[in-house]
Amino acid sequence: MTSKTIVPPLKQIPAYLQTIRDYEIEAEKHLSDMVWAYLQGGSMNEVSVQNNLQQFQELHLLPRMLRELTHGNTTCEILGQKFPHPIFLAPIGHQQQFHPEAEMASALAAEVLESNIILSTFTNTDLRQLKQENPYKWFQLYWQGSREKSLDLVKMAEAHDYKALVITVDSPHTGIRDRERQVFFHLPEGMQHPHTPTHIPLPQRQADEHPLFAGLMKIAPTWQDIAWIVQQTHLPVILKGIVHPQDAQLAIQHGVHGLIISNHGGRVLDTCISPLTALQLIKECVPENFPLLYDGGIRRGSDIFKALALGASAVLIGRPYIYGLATAGALGVAHVIRILKEELEITMALMGTATLKEINKDYIFYK
């Protein structure tokens, strides 16, 4: 068996890269088979990975004609902060395995395109290296096994002027990822994670205690921990990974300021409800202006429109910008954001909607 030749990142964008799908095909050339399996894979049979993509195909657009659109724009406001467009970069860790410049490249692209970046706890880049004066950055927290260790990271993000705190709650344990296991996935030896160890030390347990439930689950966060964090920070707190309407209501009761509706890209719990379905269920049971961000399966500007129509305040992209990062670093990430932004703008114009506030479920038709 011949080993794969990995193509170095490109220095300029070739004309054939015009869609996210083009970038997906290109990105595979620049990554090892092991890293590609990590990026593309999901949990178990990867049903949720496929459903996240398929759900958009099942929704059809119902456009309106002859509208006055000369005042059109893509600006939005979330938690009192204005954004030029609703395309945010999802928190993805270990980005050095995709490109040597890692999160610094993604952050540069996000800054140039005025896209809000959510920096992962598992960043290879110190959170203080992102420009302090850039207003479009949030910090994502994986619970560190204790309130004190978690709060240390929150206070560091506050000090560097991150504008919100995103706590990921849907993965207290990693998913069972068959594709990763088959290629014996592992992070490079010596890869630096400046803010957290790759594996949080487990608590001591008795011999007769369950290794999972008395181990990792014992140090997983609870609603009381979320309420405590809300009280300890001046940053708005957003929970990522909520899909059940009752959890959405509990989040509000515990002082949370917004939600990211997500099934973790299908990487944690396979056959979990799709985020588009969850978005519609949760939209029905939260206050009208409560921020609901959408994460999962965005590949076209029309997908963004559909998510906004069903109640999203903004959307997160994950794999798409990593395709750009692997292909051409900051240049690739910036191009991916621009592609989606232009597709969204053209979709809005053809749908007869000048602003994001005009987009609603009346523009969606179900087969």
List active site positions. Answer: 264
Tokens encoding 254: 């515990």
Nearest to 249 by CA among 208, 284, 298, 277: 284
Q: Based on C-alpha coordinates, what's the Rg of the chain?
A: 20
Tokens encoding 35: 């890293």
Indicate the SS3 state at residue 27.
helix
Residues 6+ apart with CB under 8 A from 93: 120, 121, 122, 123, 124, 193
Q: Could you give the CA distance from residue 15 to residue 72 in angstroms, rounded to a whole number?
A: 28
Nearest to 143 by CA among 259, 237, 49, 246: 237
Eight-class DSSP state of 225:
H
Contact 287, 314 (CB under 8 A): no
Q: Could you give the CA distance from residue 240 to residue 260 in angstroms, rounded to a whole number?
A: 4
The burial of 121, by beta-carbon neighbours within 10 Å (0-12 exposed, 13-18 middle, 19 or more buried), is given as buried
Angle at 312 between CA 311 and CA 315, to 5 degrees: 160
Contact 279, 333 (CB under 8 A): no
**How many other β-carbons are positioned within 10 Å of the β-carbon of residue 188?**
11
Pairing type for strands 314-317 and 117-119 reads unpaired
Phi, psi of 178 (to 5 degrees): -60, -40
For the residues of 125-192, what is the DSSP string, one character each? S-GGGS-TT-S-EEEEE---SSHHHHHHHHHHHHHTT---EEEE-S-SS----HHHHHTT--PPTT--
